[in-house]
Amino acid sequence: QVHLVESGGGLVQAGASLRLSCVASGGTFSSYGMGWFRQAPGKEREFVAAIIWSGTDTYYSDSAKGRFTISRDNAKNTAYLQMNSLKPEDTAVYYCAAQRWRPIISLLDYDYDYWGQGTQVSVSS
């Protein structure tokens, strides 16, 4: 069983930056693909970014590309989401998720095996 805890959310103005962290415990972190998803009020959960177990390959949604960067530090059992140039439409609860190893990482939320409790990101205009 993998336990994930996110942190780093908050209330910021448009154009600001935030770095989200996701600390994992209870499993072999380096064997999991990691993803970030978000859910805004009244909307479905959506994919934001993903990174394979080694950190060499990353994937982004169109809305995140060029502004967000996903990374991981396997020695610290931690995944990160650096968010720059934040916009009001980025306001959501952000979740990190872990996916057991598979040949090609999935970007679909139902393919992730473990989820954190979420951290709120609010961006004011």
Q: What is the pLDDT of residues 29-73, one digit of tens each?
A: 999 999 999 999 999 999 999 999 999 999 999 999 999 999 999
Q: What is the pLDDT of residue 89?
A: 97
Position 27 pLDDT exceeds 90: no
Whole-angstrom distance, CA of residue 46 vs CA of residue 100: 19
Whole-angstrom distance, CA of residue 115 vs CA of residue 112: 8
Letter string b/e over residues 8-35, b meaning 16 or more CB atoms within 10 A of that residue's CB: bbeebeeeeebebbbbbeebebeebbbb
Q: Are 1 and 100 in contact (CB under 8 A)?
A: no
Q: Are 35 and 22 in contact (CB under 8 A)?
A: no
For the residues 94-113, what does the mean pLDDT come to? 95
Q: What is the pLDDT of residue 7?
A: 98
Q: What percent of the residues of the chain are helix, what percent strand, and what percent coil, each to the nearest 5?
A: 5, 50, 45
Question: Considering all CA atoms of the chain, what is the largest pairwise distance in Å, rounded to the nearest integer?
Answer: 41
Name the least confident of 24-28, 45-49, 67-71, 80-84.
24-28
Q: What percent of the chain has pLDDT over 70?
A: 100
